[in-house]
Amino acid sequence: MRSFDYRCAADRTEALSMADTAQARFLGGGTNLVDLMRQNIEAPAALVDVSRLPAAIEETPDGGLIIGAAVRNSAAAAHPAVRTRYPMLSRAILAGASAQIRNMATIAGNILQRTRCPYFYDAAGSRCNKREPGIGCDAIDGFNRYHAIFGGSEHCIATHPSDMCVALAALDATVHLAGPGGERSVPLLDFHRLPGDHPEIETALRPGELITEIELAPSAAAANSTYRKVRDRSSYAFALVSIAAGLQLVAGKIEHVRIAVGGVAAKPWRATRAEQVLLGQAPTRERFLEAADAELAAARTFDGNAFKVELVKRTTAAVLSELAGVDA
Ligand SMILES: Cc1cc2nc3c(=O)[nH]c(=O)nc-3n(C[C@H](O)[C@H](O)[C@H](O)COP(=O)(O)OP(=O)(O)OC[C@H]3O[C@@H](n4cnc5c(N)ncnc54)[C@H](O)[C@@H]3O)c2cc1C
Ligand code: SF4
């Protein structure tokens, strides 16, 4: 690891002024960034510690929630309003990492964690366009079991590893930002980028910008919602695929539905085609499979990850059947 400055910010203004060079990085719990520094994937000249900024979860006037960027993952998952009004979010956070890591990790750090593609971490021996633009991608013809089936490009097929962000995508969360140019907000669905020709550009974050909060609007589908993660072992493993979904039935028909899929793209994948198939329909397992098929028509698979198509289909149908109370 190379030497770097460490600065600890007490508030937002101090954090923005301390991040005064392009080589500065904000530090949350450090559970991803410090690993990347140890492996020489990232080498910031300065770390601006924002983990001690005020961290609260507050009600909004319209009945939603604002969650501070420095709130720890475990605190967000345990908060009564999150557990009762947005259960998919609580369950998604608890499906990630370990209790110790969730106690350290912050909301902002979770959103900005980087891919777990093994070639990205293997700086000494592998080609990776995300790490070094233009040198190639060893995953496309290599070990791609964990890689994308939606939205990949010839330059990168990495997935975003966050569980929490899958629920945030289903909930239409908004990311609030503050930076040298002022404050702005970005829908979470537009925050992470697909790789295209520039897999090294992963988000809409501008240089020096700080995530300050995320906002959850009230949602008719959120109270009856859940998160299911399918992985190679039952804990402490990243998702092969995951589903965050919420459903509201009125008079036996689907009035509101939200579905997002994890482990399948460089961003949490909102399944809008599947949602469209389901609106106004009676909930049956056959209809849920049909909806998943509509979404999966756009899938592009590789040697190691073709199984994800069937896995997404079955998991989607199982989760929606559970929420609707019909036979899976
Ligand atoms: C062994 C292991 C297993 C894991 N398993 C899972 C899993 O199954 N599912 C899952 O979802 N996650 C998993 N994680 C990832 C874990 O959730 C992330 O490491 C964590 O969420 C990152 O949070 P952090 O606060 O520690 O971020 P940091 O490591 O501090 O920072 C990550 C990034 O966010 C930036 N950043 C932090 N705060 C801000 C801010 N306010 N504004 C702008 N930029 C900011 C940093 O500059 C850095 O680029 C795992 C991690 C480990 C180490
Ligand atoms: S999939 Fe993306 S992150 Fe993985 S090796 Fe290819 S370019 Fe790098």
- 47: domain CATH number? 3.30.43.10
CATH code, domain with 311: 3.30.390.50
CA of 287: how far to CAs of 275, 276, 291, 294, in Å? 11, 12, 6, 11
Report if residue 129 sits inside a domain.
no
Ligand 2: distance of its center to the CA of 156 in Å?
5
User: Ligand 2 within 6 A of 75 CB?
Assistant: no
β-sheet with 210-216: strand ranges across:
57-59, 65-68, 210-216, 174-179, 182-187
Both tokens of 43, joined, read 């080498």
Ligand 2: distance of its center to the CA of 303 in Å?
15
Last residue of a domain, one of 19, 36, 51: 51
What is the number of the ligand 1 atom nearest to the C-alpha of 25?
47
Give the ligand at the shortest distance from the Cα of 158: 2
Question: Quick one: pLDDT at residue 235?
Answer: 86
Report if residue 78 sits inside a domain.
no
Q: Which positions of the chain have pLDDT values less than 50?
A: none
* Closest C-alpha to 266, from 312, 202, 200: 202
Total domain count, the chain: 2
Report if residue 287 sits inside a domain.
yes
Question: Quick one: pLDDT at residue 319?
Answer: 98
Report if residue 215 sits inside a domain.
no
Report if residue 132 sits inside a domain.
no
Q: Give the range of the structural domain holding residue 302, as residue numbers without chain letter.
A: 225-324
- pTM value > 0.95: yes
Report if residue 80 sits inside a domain.
no
Terminal-to-terminal C-alpha distance of the chain: 51
Ligand 1: distance of its center to the CA of 53 in Å?
16
Report if residue 236 sits inside a domain.
yes
Question: Quick one: pLDDT at residue 2?
Answer: 84
User: Ligand 1 within 6 A of 108 CB?
Assistant: yes
User: Ligand 1 within 6 A of 174 CB?
Assistant: no
213-261, pLDDT tens digit by residue? Answer: 999 999 999 999 999 999 999 888 999 999 999 999 999 999 999 999 9
Residue nearest to atom 5 of ligand 2 (CA): 128
* Closest C-alpha to 89, from 183, 222, 278, 190: 222
